[in-house]
Homo-oligomer: A and B are copies of this chain.
């Protein structure tokens, strides 16, 4: 069991990673729930996770919590004002007050939605993230970015609201489909590429999607979370630019997801494609040696993600980039690599360079 602490001003987020975390949740959270009287909690859970919900509920009740449980059928449509209203109604029905705690048990959709509700109910109540996908454990559970979708785009409505704690239980990952593991691996690789060449080398050696051992996985997740915490501590609200490096591979990744209506790619899969493009751009713009770019691409194209489909036209992807949430005055900013583990921000990239990088990726054969 590994523990990390994210410190932001006077607030902290306690993070646990390991096996059996759900069973121990009540004890682990003793220090989080410092107030007097019995704690009231609402577990908002992906309806497919009945067993995990019950494990968490039992563990908390053993420590004296009073727990309500709400199951939600998860789809991207749930991440909307309608989905938020479902939860507000439930909280109001049982008179949740400012000391009540929400638990978000599920993947990214549940985390983003429940975090947003916690951030806006009575102007903010505490919440605990219980991410159940590798992607959510490794990345989206930390950092306080919460939000819902608007019909015109994803995550357009949201707030920064840090969780009081995050519980990453490796046991819940065992039943994940391979594609979900690959999607999470995409974000793990990202941390290697932008911060940590040792991590990247290790991934090149140990990667085998069916055979991450528990200790390997615990180490990988904890290592990524350590990097994420350090970055968020420097730039909680995405203002100073420190946090922008986390966007590596995401600029084009988001465009690919949007252009395929979020139906074809898992988030991490699209990020893997986005990182291939970003690495190629890093070479084209003169930051990264060609052999390093080739090394990165060899690893990434070896993953079972496929290439960029020919139906996805360059001009449509370029049009999507203008709509990027982080664009300022229509100018997109790309995070690129100087080396494995070192980044540079480039605001001057031309459309034709992006097209050239896309074409190069399309031309590579899968190994």
Contacts and interface: CB of A to CB of B under 8 A. Distances in A.
Interface string A190-215: 00000000000000000000000000
B159 A123 contact: yes
Contact of A158 (B89, B99, B120, B152): B120
Contacts of A81: 81, 85
A160 B92 contact: no
A37 interface: yes
B122 A88 contact: no
Given A92-B153, A150-B88, A159 B329 contact: no
Interface in A78-114: 81, 85, 88-89, 92, 95, 97-99
A38 to B, nearest CB: 9
Interface string A146-167: 0100101100111110000000
Contacts of A328: 97-99
Contact of A124 (B37, B97, B120, B159): B159
A326 interface: yes
A181 B286 CA distance: 66
Contact of A123 (B89, B122, B147, B152): B147
Copies in the complex: 2
Nearest to A123: B158
Contacts of A124: 159-160, 237
Interface of A: 9, 37, 81, 85, 88-89, 92, 95, 97-99, 119-124, 145, 147, 150, 152-153, 156-160, 237-238, 323, 325-329
A121 B156 CA distance: 6
A123 to B, nearest CB: 5
A88 B156 contact: yes
Contacts of A89: 152
Contacts of A238: 123
A326 B81 CA distance: 25
A92 B156 CA distance: 9
Given A119-B159, A120-B120, A123-B147, 5 more contacts: A81-B81, A88-B156, A97-B328, A123-B145, A124-B160
Contacts of A325: 98, 122
A152 to B, nearest CB: 5
B329 A157 contact: no
A157 B150 CA distance: 17
